[in-house]
């Protein structure tokens, strides 16, 4: 739960109709999804990032790594790959590991495919998402130790969905002026969530002994039900994200207050790959 929650926002830090008719009336919240083109911060150098997860400011709960590169083909793409897992005392309570891969169009910052595999205790899950023009297609496989694998497919009928990495790319590309609000539909696993981000200020913040100029954002998440209604996500009470206020705008820190306590994710290693 700790790593899943933090990864949702960090990769990050936040219709929605499965297998039903696309002709139903569009709900109000769907009309408010941000659809403006990517801003002037759309580009990014190839980079490797590492984050440490903390629990209640006392326990190192996990660690994950993200590498972002570009393909060398004619139709250039961003490719993000991430790995991570719980560590130390948290791993003794809840062993968890994951691996993810995202492919994103460099011009529109729209996701093309997203793949995630995860292992928690005695169960392995994998998700493959294909983003088409007006829908996403989810293929899910789940297997508990000693049992047969279960698989399923569902469709998410919405034309502007995001995976976790494309959401981060799109968010950082925007002007992010104080008071700006951005709403996105983000799929971290095999279900969509409505994610709101609001820019609440700029401030200097010390992270791992170094002071950064940052953009501070408030983040909120809600569940999207099969009938297109919205339900509050009670596991996350509050979330705040800090992005570096420079030309690269990398996520520096996430703080979340969730049902199991206070969770933070902080950048502690950055290496440019080109």
Residue 222 lies in a domain: yes
Tell me if 181 is assigned to some domain: yes
Beta-carbon count within 10 A of 78 CB: 23
Give the model's pLDDT for residue 237: 72
Q: How many structural domains compose the chain?
A: 1
What pLDDT sits at residue 37?
A: 94
Nearest to 243 by CA among 7, 6, 4, 12: 12
In a domain, 273, yes or no: no
Whole-number pLDDT of residue 13: 41
Domain-embedded: residue 51: yes
Give the pLDDT of residue 238.
81
Q: Which residues of 20-53 are buried (b: 16+ CB within 10 A; e: fewer)?
A: eeeeeeebebbeebeeeebeebbebeebebebbb
CB atoms within 10 A of CB 1: 16
Instruction: Compute φ and ψ for 76, nearest 5 degrees.
Output: -65, 140
What was the pLDDT predicted at 4?
Answer: 54
In a domain, 129, yes or no: yes
pLDDT of residue 172: 96
Longest CA pairwise span in the chain (Å): 54
**How many C-beta atoms lie closer than 10 Å to residue 223's C-beta?**
16
Structural domain range at position 9 = 2-268
pLDDT score for 141: 96
Whether 255 is covered by a domain: the verdict is yes
Residue 274, domain member (yes or no): no
Q: What is the DSSP letter of 46?
A: -
55 lies in some domain: yes
Mean pLDDT by 10 residues, the chain (274 residues): 48 34 67 94 95 86 95 88 94 94 95 96 95 93 95 91 95 97 92 93 93 96 87 80 96 87 90 92
């Amino acid at each position: 739960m700790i790593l899943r929650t933090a990864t949702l926002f960090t990769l990050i830090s936040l219709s929605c109709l499965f297998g039903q008719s696309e002709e139903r009336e569009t709900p109000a919240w769907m009309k408010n999804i941000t659809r403006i083109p990517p801003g002037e911060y759309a580009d990014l150098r190839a980079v490797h990032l590492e984050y440490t997860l903390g629990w209640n400011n006392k326990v190192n709960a996990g660690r994950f790594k993200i590498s972002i590169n570009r393909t060398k083909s004619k139709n250039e793409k961003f490719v993000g790959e991430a790995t991570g897992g719980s560590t130390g005392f948290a791993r003794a309570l809840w062993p968890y590991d994951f691996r993810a891969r995202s492919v994103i169009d460099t011009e529109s910052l729209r996701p093309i495919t997203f793949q995630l595999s995860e292992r928690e205790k005695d169960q392995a899950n994998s998700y493959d998402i294909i983003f088409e023009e007006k829908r996403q297609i989810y293929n899910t496989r789940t297997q508990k130790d000693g049992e047969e694998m279960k698989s399923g497919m569902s469709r998410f009928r919405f034309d502007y969905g995001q995976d976790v990495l494309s959401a981060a790319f799109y968010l950082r590309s925007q002007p992010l002026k104080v008071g700006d609000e951005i709403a996105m539909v983000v799929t971290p696993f095999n279900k969509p969530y409505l994610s709101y981000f609001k820019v609440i200020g700029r401030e200097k913040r010390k992270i791992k002994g170094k002071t950064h100029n940052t953009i501070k954002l408030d983040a909120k998440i809600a569940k999207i039900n099969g009938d297109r209604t919205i339900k509050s996500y009670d596991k996350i009470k509050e979330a705040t994200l800090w992005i570096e206020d420079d030309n690269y705008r990398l996520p520096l820190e996430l703080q979340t207050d969730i049902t199991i306590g206070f969770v933070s994710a902080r950048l502690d290693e950055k290496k440019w790959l080109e």
